[in-house]
Each structure stands twice: as structure tokens, then as C-alpha cells.
Amino acid sequence: MTTAPPAPAATTEEGTAAPAPTLQKDAPATTGSASATDDGNRARRPALSPMFVGMIALVSLGAFESLAVSTAMPVIAASLDGLALYAPAFALTIATSVMGMVLAGRSTDRGTVGPSLLGGVGVFVAGLLLAGLAPSMGVLLVGRALQGLGSGAYIVALYMIVARQYSGRARAGVLAAFSTAWVVPSLVGPLLAGLVVSHLGWRWVFLSVAVLAVPATLMLVSAVRDSARTATTAGEDPAAPPAGGPAARRGALWWAAAASAGVALMSLGTENHSTAGYTMIVLGAVVVLWAAPRLLPRGTLRAGRGLPTVIALRGLVASSFYAAEVFLPLILQQERGFSPARSGIVLTAGAITWALGSLLRSRLTWSSATFLRLGTWLVALAVAGVALLVVPSVPAELTYLAWAAGGLGLGMVFPTLAILVFDLSPTHQQGSNTSSLQVADALSSAFLLALAGIVIAWLVPNMGSYGYLGAFVLAGAVALVAAVIAPRATQTTVG
């Protein structure tokens, strides 16, 4: 019998270390580098500093690459005679991103964002170049895998730059800008990708992003240089290794690899509505459920007060919103007669209000608890609202209002959760906890999308439009759980 790899200590579901510090009624945390006293210690960052521009550029490029590839992939697969490998081209990227997130979390915990940022962007660019120059679909898949690995790493590094270089309302403002950086690509990305494919060829969808990523990264050199110094002034040893030692870190990588494999199986299974596909989904789900507790803070699965609930909320809110978003255009086009352009306007409304919600989060002085309560209930109401589309007598125009409300709620929730992770984490655990935030998002979304896909495949052929209700009920139930447990994120653990 083989021995399972050791679970990472200190921050895992089955660990033995004490839980991370928690907040009482949104009082400033006193254990992490994000405490209120940091506001007086850190220099005010110019709004349009090279560091800020570089971060926004990288987020925007990552968003554009994700959206553009979705638009161009049919042409790419046909050109490389690889239609049979269409689904793996997306599944591999999702799976390897989990590995990148975990690697970056452990690396940034050791005091500097340099390896995760520069290494992550380097691997991302290498993947773009390999995909852009690929002579076959097999080579393109390798490039896509590298893109996921690199993007997973550098997004964690960017959040760590925000944690260490900004504080207070400035930090909330940067996180709001991150959300906005997704809006423009979501509006123009698919159209721009189509123009690039038509006039320059599909290879430039990858190569153009690779060219632009290099100067964006160079703008962040000062942040890389300052990261260890910032950790030192926060009262932590930037060279201190994460709790648990090398064995725990190696164990975390094994569990990350297992979770990545599970996500890949589930993603591939959703593309194959047969016994083989369902088997892949079940096996992948078992692997994800087995590995996830070892990659998330202890108490996450039972929504323990403070940090565990923060991580759980990210997974619950993200997965419920994304699952509804995936099937919303489907029901609008197939059951309500919307054109692709008109259904796209619905999603655009959500993207715009997402940015608005993030802006409100950075401008208003409400407590984190208030933002979480309001935001999670808005998402839950949005999912319930779009679920009503299965009833023919319900006006389809309700969708615009419902989805705009959901985007507004998501824009409030996501920056708040990121801020709470910074506040609730000591400096030497900010990296792994930020990584956990991203991992919870990826694993939960893949898991719920796979389940919803099975429900749709089973019910729609027999129930017509009412069959979609199964997927929306799943998403709505998850959103409701998030709204109910949201207050626990800012409560102190008793004892």
C-alpha cells in the first residue's frame, strides 16, 4: 500500500497548528502586515505609478488572452487538425493554474514576490510563444499547459504586491482596478480576437500577448525589489520559511498535482456526455474532494469563523455566479430566442456592474461585514432571478436587471475577501492564504460546473426549458449558503 503525501502544516484542513488570527467586527488585524498601523508606515503610492500600470496591464492581458482564445479556438483546432483535442486545450490550462497558484503561495511566503512574478510571467510568455508557433495541436496543448501554470503563479504574486505595497483605501482602490481591468477585455476582447484571426492569423492571438507582457512586467521591477524590504518593516523575517517545513511544502505540491488532475478529468468529462464522460467527472470529483482539504486553511469546509469562511466564500460565490453565467446565454438563445449579440449584452451588464461594485467597495466606508452581506445576497437574488427564465410567462428583460445586480454583488464581495485575507494573515502566510483564495475559486467552479453540466444533460432532453432549472437550483443553493455564512467571515473565534 502506498503512503499518501503529507498534508501541508499550519494552514490546512487537517493540520495541527493554531488557526489564523481573526477579526472582531472588522477591527483592524494586529498580526498581519496589513494592520491599521501600516497606513502610517507606508508611503502613499501615486495613482498611475509604473508599478500600478504594470499590474493592471498584466491583469488585462491575462483577461484578454482567456477571452480571445475562447473566440479563436475553433479556427485554431481546425487549422491544426485537432478538433478532437478542443476540450483539453481549455482543461489543461485550468488544471495547471492550480499548480501555479500553490507554487506561488509557498514561494511568496518566503518573503519575495520575485520568483513567482518573474517566473510566472516567464512561463506564461513561453507558453504563449509555444502556442503561437505550434506546428501541431499536441505542441499547442503543451503551450496551453504552460500558460495556466504561469498565469496561476503571477496572479498570486500580483495580489501579494498589493498586500505589501498598499494599505487601507489605497489597497481597496487597486483591487477595484483589478476588477475594472477585466471589464474592457470582456467588452472588446472577443471582437478584437476575431479581427486578429481574420486579418493577421490566429497565431497572433498568442504572440501579441507575449510581446506586450514583457514591458508590463518590467514596470514591476521596483515592486520585486521592495517586497522583501516591506516584509521586514512589517515585523516579519522575509526569509522565514512557511510553517511546516520542506516536507509540508512538498506535500502541498503533491496535493496540488492531484487537484489539478481532478479538475482536468472533470473538465474533460463535461465535454463527453456518455458513460465514459460521466465516469471521468465522478473520478475527478473524488480526487478534488480528497485533495482540496489539504490545500485550504483548516476549517474551510465547515466554514470556521474568520479566515476559513473567507476562503469558503470565495469558492461558493465564484462557483455559483460562474455556473449561472455559463448556462445563461444557452437558455437565452435556445429558449428565449435571443441572438448571440443580445445575450452578450446581458453578460456585459454584469461585467460593468462588477466594476461598479468594486469601485463602491473602494469608495464607501461601510464595514467588510456589510459589503459581504449585501454582495452575497445580491448574487443569490441574481441567480434566482435568471432561474425564472424557465417560466415562459416571465419577461426575458428581467435578465438584464438580475444579472446587473449579480455583477454588482460580485464586485463588492471579491475585493472584500482579498482584503480580509491580507488582514487575517501574518506576513509569512499571506502567500499561501492568497493562493488558497484562488484555489478555492478554481476548484469550486470546476466542481459545480461539472455537476451542473450533468444535470443539464439529464434533464433538458426530457423536460425542455424546465430542465435548466436543475442547474440554476444548484447554483442558487450554493449562493444561498454563501449569503448565510457570510457574517462568519468577520467574527472572532471563541476561545
Is 29 a domain residue? Answer: no
Instruction: Give me the mean pLDDT over the 191-220 stretch.
Output: 89
Q: Specify the pLDDT at position 249.
A: 56
Q: Specify the pLDDT at position 317.
A: 96
Give yes or no for residue 17 having a pLDDT over 50: no
The proportion of the chain whose per-residue pLDDT surpasses 90, expressed as a percent, equals: 26
Q: Specify the pLDDT at position 250.
A: 62
Instruction: Give me the mean pLDDT over the 118-144 stretch.
Output: 94
For residues 37 and 387, the model is more confident at: 387
Residues 74 and 166 in one domain: yes
Unique residue bearing C-alpha cell 433538458: 460
Is 287 a domain residue? Answer: yes
Q: Specify the pLDDT at position 213.
A: 92
Q: Specify the pLDDT at position 229.
A: 55
The Cα–Cα gap between 226 and 134 comes to: 38
CATH number of the domain within which 195 lies = 1.20.1250.20
For residues 55 and 11, the model is more confident at: 55
Give yes or no for residue 483 having a pLDDT over 90: yes
Residues 313 and 372 in one domain: yes
Instruction: Give me the mean pLDDT over the 270-285 stretch.
Output: 80
Residues 327 and 287 in one domain: no
Residues 100 and 130 in one domain: yes
Q: Specify the pLDDT at position 406.
A: 95
Residues 264 and 342 in one domain: no
Unique residue bearing C-alpha cell 469558503: 312
Domain hosting 272: range is 241-295
For residues 236 and 298, the model is more confident at: 298
Indicate the pTM of the whole model. Answer: 0.76
Residues 197 and 309 in one domain: no
Residues 348 and 473 in one domain: yes
What is the average pLDDT score of the chain?
A: 80
Is 331 a domain residue? Answer: yes
Q: Specify the pLDDT at position 484.
A: 96
Q: Specify the pLDDT at position 251.
A: 67
104 — pLDDT class (breaks 50, 70, 90): confident
- Note the pLDDT tens digit of each residue in 66-89: 878 877 888 888 899 887 777 778
- Note the pLDDT tens digit of each residue in 39-58: 443 434 445 688 888 899 99
Is 12 a domain residue? Answer: no
Q: Specify the pLDDT at position 48.
A: 65
Residues 6+ apart with CB under 8 A from 365: none
Residues 65 and 118 in one domain: yes
For residues 414 and 90, the model is more confident at: 414
Residues 283 and 353 in one domain: no
Q: Which of 137-151, 196-210, 367-381, 432-446 has the lowest mean pLDDT?
A: 432-446
By the 8 A CB rule, do 147 and 127 touch? yes
By the 8 A CB rule, do 399 and 332 touch? yes
Give yes or no for residue 161 having a pLDDT over 80: yes
Is 35 a domain residue? Answer: no
Give yes or no for residue 226 having a pLDDT over 70: no
Residues 209 and 258 in one domain: no
Give yes or no for residue 135 having a pLDDT over 70: yes
Q: Which of 87-96, 132-141, 248-257 has the lowest mean pLDDT?
A: 248-257
191 — pLDDT class (breaks 50, 70, 90): confident
Cell numbers of 162, please? Answer: 498589493
Instruction: Give me the mean pLDDT over the 132-160 stretch.
Output: 92
Residues 64 and 181 in one domain: yes
Give yes or no for residue 460 having a pLDDT over 50: yes
SS (H, E, C) the chain: CCCCCCCCCCCCCCCCCCCCCCCCCCCCCCCCCCCCCHHHHCCCCCCCCHHHHHHHHHHHHHHHHHHHHHHHHHHHHHHCCCHHHHHHHHHHHHHHHHHHHHHHHHHHCCCCCHHHHHHHHHHHHHHHHHHHCCCCHHHHHHHHHHHHHHHHHHHHHHHHHHHHHCCHHHHHHHHHHHHHHHHHHHHHHHHHHHHHHHHCCCHHHHHHHHHHHHHHHHCCHHHHHHHHHHHHHCCCCCCCCCCCHHHHHHHHHHHHHHHHHHHHHHHHHCCCCCHHHHHHHHHHHHHHHHHHHHHCCCCCCCCCCCHHHHHHHHHHHHHHHHHHHHHHHHHHHHHCCCCHHHHHHHHHHHHHHHHHHHHHHHHCCCCHHHHHHHHHHHHHHHHHHHHHHHCCCCCCCHHHHHHHHHHHHHHHHHHHHHHHHHHHCCHHHHHHHHHHHHHHHHHHHHHHHHHHHHHHHHHHHHHHHHHHHHHHHHHHHHHHHHHHHHHHHHCCCCC
For residues 367 and 270, the model is more confident at: 367
The Cα–Cα gap between 438 and 436 comes to: 5
Instruction: Give me the mean pLDDT over the 3-8 stretch.
Output: 35
Cα 86-191-326 angle, rounded to 5 deg:
50
The Cα–Cα gap between 288 and 256 comes to: 9
